[in-house]
A and B are shown apart, each in its own frame.
Chain A
Amino acid sequence: MKKTQSRIVLIAASFAAATFLACDQTNPEDETSANYLSAIEIVAPRDTMIFTAGAPTTELTLFGSFVSITTSVVSNTGALQRAEFVVENYDTSFTTIRNEDAAWSSSNASVATVVAGRVTPFSPGEAIILARAKTDDGAGKNASDSIVALVESPNSAPTVILDDPPSRIIFENRAIISGAAQVIHAGGANTRLRIEAPDDGYVALANYDGDGNFAHTLVGLAEGVRKIRVVAEHPSNPDLKTTKSVEVDYRTYENGALEGEYRGEAAGLPLSFSVRFDSRFPIFMVEEGDIDVAFQVLGVLETIPFEGYVDDDGTLRMSSTYQYGDFTVTGEFDGYFPDETTCLGDFVFKSSRTGWPTLRVEGSWNAAR
């Protein structure tokens, strides 16, 4: 799983919408708890980072998720009685925290050590780098996050990791290939990273950052399924190389690939996906080209149509603003098609009403034809 995806899950868990709790509390005043640390995250593009044995230390960055809870008592008072319940409204913020504020450890010190977030790779192998920090919620629990440190030899073929998906449908003659490659310094040169699309005669060198992360845009692709190769060559020995590949299926709307709205205009392949995302709120269903959300809150079920388009890069973008009574419901869906039968993505969903706590939920969704 990508670190970015795990972060979405973390956010979803933290917001957890607004929680209604019946209780006997009679104080009508709003109360806000302190901003406490609820989760931490090692900032990295993906769960695995590639290091080269003997290379200089790399400093990791730590992110904290802070939660404050506002409690208010909603009451109904008659001449003889009062009925009430407590609303807990969660507000989450994210900020960088000092590496010294967490306890760091390595599962295999002979492979890599870590001190205050600084990773030193020693020898080939795998080590789990773990950061832990005490949450401030009074429960004395620990928040933690980890990455896999993949330490490779400087004298072997450079390791390459490509980001998901291994295949996807696109609707333009360009594609973005991203991942990470092992950075090896030898003889004054670095790892040579090459992107190739043999069917289209495309060859280009890719740039990467100090940690080997790259995102390369290929252009000039022809229609159909295209295999794209990523080749990482050792700087001093071209024979030491690693090749990984992904597939993109470049389609045009004219060839009947998709139907639906494409930037406001009718387009091809029916989106007859069936999605059901069951949670307390909301329920998603994607059928016949539309995403309908059964908005379920306080027992009300309301279908909310979403409108959007499939972008050139194959991503699905849908949004909706819906008025139900005094509620305003907004939602955004992002997704992509790894193949013709699957759609994956993330969502953000929010409902608000003047004077009510905002209900919000985030997460990932998937659909299958």
Chain B
Amino acid sequence: MTIRKLAAIALTAVSIATPLSAQEPVATSSSTTEATAPKPFVGVRFGFFTPQLASMDDASFDEVYHSQDPSISVFGGVELGPAALVAKYRFFNASGSSIIENIEIDGDAEWSQSFLFLGARVLSAATGVARFYFDFGATRSAVEETISTNNPFLAELRSTKSVSAWGYCGAVGVTLRVRPFVSMSAEAEYSNIDADGSEGLTRSEVNLGGAHFSFGLSIQPFNIPL
């Protein structure tokens, strides 16, 4: 699915999801300005992520990586009434033991992955402190995996592989306004990013995406119309 198609769907979805009250013309020009004026927001989020990597014919991610750092996301966007444009950047590191066969040495593995999400957000009506939202859009992920062993002389068993690909992503979340300009949020996301090139493995394509659960804090430092 192309990014252009995703954007078209996003705009359609925003149109459908926007409450009628927000679409209807209002009586006063000042309230109209306040409801539709773009409001930027930024935030940070910590979460848990495991690449799905699809097929389990070879070593799965969990078999290799036993120590995963929390994912760290920064995000920002501009709220336009019941919708928003959102950009998110997330990185994630893991370390573990690669699987060695036919020789008694220990393997090491390091995983470093980043995500860049560009998409749209549909927000529920702002009737209380909580607002639900739905994000969807395109996401690009870049992965670098390095495998090695505890024998520095076995160069044949050292390898670094870098893969990057575009995919699509959807997320649902809720924000809780705790201060006039400060919100807490929780989000569940799923992304699908098919990438070629699993060198030497039986699977030819892997999904670099997967489920991501995160909690965060966002602020609207300019909670005023731009």
Contacts and interface: CB of A to CB of B under 8 A. Distances in A.
A and B part of one assembly: yes
Given A298-B151, A299-B153, A81 B159 contact: yes
Nearest to B208: A80
A279 interface: no
B53 to A, nearest CB: 6
B76 to A, nearest CB: 30
Chain A residues touching B, range: 20 to 34
Which secondary structure dominates chain B's binding surface?
A: mixed
Nearest to B107: A76
Contacts of B59: 77-79
Contacts of A87: 102
A28 B61 CA distance: 20
B156 A77 contact: no
B58 A77 contact: yes
Contacts of B107: 76-77
Nearest to B64: A79
Interface stretch (B19-27, B130-138, B180-188, B193-201): B193-201
Interface string B62-95: 0111000000000000000000000000000000
Interface string B138-154: 00000101011101011
Contacts of A79: 51, 53, 59-61, 63-65, 109, 111, 145
Contacts of A22: 156
Interface of B: 51, 53, 58-61, 63-65, 98-104, 107, 109, 111, 143, 145, 147-149, 151, 153-154, 156-159, 161, 163, 198-201, 206
Interface of A: 20, 22, 24, 26, 28, 30, 72-85, 87, 298-300, 326, 353-356
10 contacts: A30-B102, A75-B102, A76-B100, A77-B58, A79-B51, A79-B109, A81-B147, A82-B200, A83-B156, A354-B104
Given A22-B156, A77-B59, A79-B53, 16 more contacts: A72-B102, A73-B101, A74-B100, A75-B100, A76-B100, A76-B149, A77-B147, A78-B59, A78-B98, A78-B161, A79-B51, A80-B145, A80-B201, A83-B156, A85-B156, A300-B153
